[in-house]
Copies of this chain bind each other. A is one copy, B any other.
Amino acid sequence: MKKIINRPEDYTDDMLRGIYEANKGKVKYVNDDLRCYCTARKKEGKVAIITGGGTGHLPLFLGYVGENMLDGCGVGSVFQSPSAEEIYNISKEVESGAGILYLYGNYTGDIMNFDMASELCQMEGIETRSIVGADDVNSNKDESKRRGVAGIFFMFKAAGAAASSMKSLDEVLASAERAKRNTRTVGFALTPCVIPEVGHPNFTLKDDEMAMGMGIHGEPGIWNGKLKTADEIASESLDTILSDMPVEKGEEVALLINGLGATSVEELYILAGSVFKILDGKGIKVYRTFVGEYATSMEMAGASISIMKIESKEMKSELDMPVSTPFYTQV
């Protein structure tokens, strides 16, 4: 294991200390618990949006807490859920009279803990709604059982924009639902990553192999085989996405090319170029493109392609809403 760390068991808390110190006045923690990550710039009367999940996916999840995006994040250990109590404590801090949207990935532990936190809130008269990201097409044929991966960024963006426009809790939920309904992702890994406290990779790939459809925790994909070219990978990924969610000629999409951690930005743009060629050939217009690391798996090499179909002008406004967090800024 080659990582710049101190003790593996301190990985998450050491990281959090660095983040808080680097971003004073922007984010803070409550209840004397580093894992209760909250905005330091609460806006009264706004629907609060809280996410959460395991460490190891930066900027997912906590990186999207900030202006016009999210208000809090429960931080679990590496690839572990935050506790219900932590989510509840964050909820008490960031709620400001308009209710809370819980928006996180479709993973069993997270669902259990967010649901418990929701019950605790409701007992105190705080209204909550919940929605999970489940955009990873290759993870299951059943849409409701799919894992949430990089496409959750579009849900954060939509819900964050709606909330910052002072919309109601149900309207914010509706924006998140619309982004979810229109978003699909396909990902693939070239190398594994190492959980610090485990110390070795949980799977192996040969020197010339890739894993199509692999999850961001190393969940098995649909095939392991010879590394393909950027053009071939883009073509297979878009076939998968567009068979699951047809996009007609003339329709517009948002495109997210996401690096899993160890893949260079140069390669992400090469892949973006391959995707542009295919979409252009189909007459599908790209309204806005996002390229970079949006949801990683520590030092895993690989990438994912997310497409969000744009079905209304409002979706464009949500995409274009300026945001500013310690990890992601858009003007």
A198 located at the interface, meaning its Cβ lies under 8 Å from any Cβ of chain B in the complex: no
Task: Tell which of A11-19, A82-90, A91-99, A244-252 binds the partner.
Answer: A11-19
Given contacts A4-B267, A5-B270, A6-B231, 17 further A-B contacts (CB under 8 A): A2-B208, A2-B210, A2-B227, A3-B267, A4-B268, A4-B270, A5-B267, A14-B230, A16-B269, A17-B273, A18-B291, A21-B289, A56-B266, A58-B265, A261-B262, A329-B329, A329-B331
Asked if A299 is at the interface (CB within 8 A of a chain B CB), the reply is yes
A221 proximal to B (CB < 8 A): no
Q: Please, which residue of chain B has its CB at the minimum distance from the CB of A301?
A: B2
Q: How far is the CA of A263 from the CA of B2 in the complex (A)?
A: 9
Contact A271–B230 (Cβ < 8 Å): no
Q: What's the minimum C-beta distance from A238 to chain B, rounded to whole angstroms? A: 15
Number of interface residues of A (CB under 8 A): 60
Chain A interface main SS type: mixed
How many identical subunits does the complex contain? 2
Give A residues with C-beta under 8 Å from B. 2-6, 11, 14-19, 21-23, 55-56, 58-59, 63, 190-191, 207-208, 210, 227, 229-231, 233, 261-274, 276, 289, 291, 293, 296, 298-299, 301-303, 322, 324, 327, 329-331
Please, how many angstroms separate the alpha-carbon atoms of A272 and B21 in the complex?
9
Given contacts A324-B331, A331-B324, contact A6 B266 (CB under 8 A): no
Which residues of B are found within 8 Å of A265, using beta-carbon distances? 58-59, 63, 293, 296, 327
Q: Which residues of B contact A263 (CB under 8 A)?
A: 4, 299
Q: How far is the CA of A153 from the CA of B274 in the complex (A)?
A: 30
Distance between A56 CB and nearest chain B CB, rounded to angstroms: 7
Measured in the bound complex, the distance between the Cα atoms of B5 and A271 in whole Å is 7
Q: Please report the C-alpha to C-alpha distance between residue A227 and residue B324 in the assembled complex, in whole angstroms.
A: 35
Whether the pair A18, B299 counts as a contact (CB closer than 8 A) is no
Q: Which of A207, A267, A296, A324 has the largest number of chain B CB atoms within 10 A?
A: A267
**Contact B231 A276, beta carbon cutoff 8 Å:** no
Q: How far is the CB of A83 from chain B (nearest CB, A)?
A: 20
Q: Which residues of chain B are near A274, meaning CB under 8 Å?
A: 6, 18
B207, B230, B293, B322: the one contacting A6 at CB < 8 Å is B230
Assess the A11–B231 pair: CB atoms within 8 A. no
Q: In the complex the two chains form, what is the Cα distance from A210 to B272 in whole Å?
A: 33
Residues of B with C-beta under 8 A to A329? 329-331
Q: By the criterion CB–CB under 8 Å, are B18 and A276 in contact?
A: yes
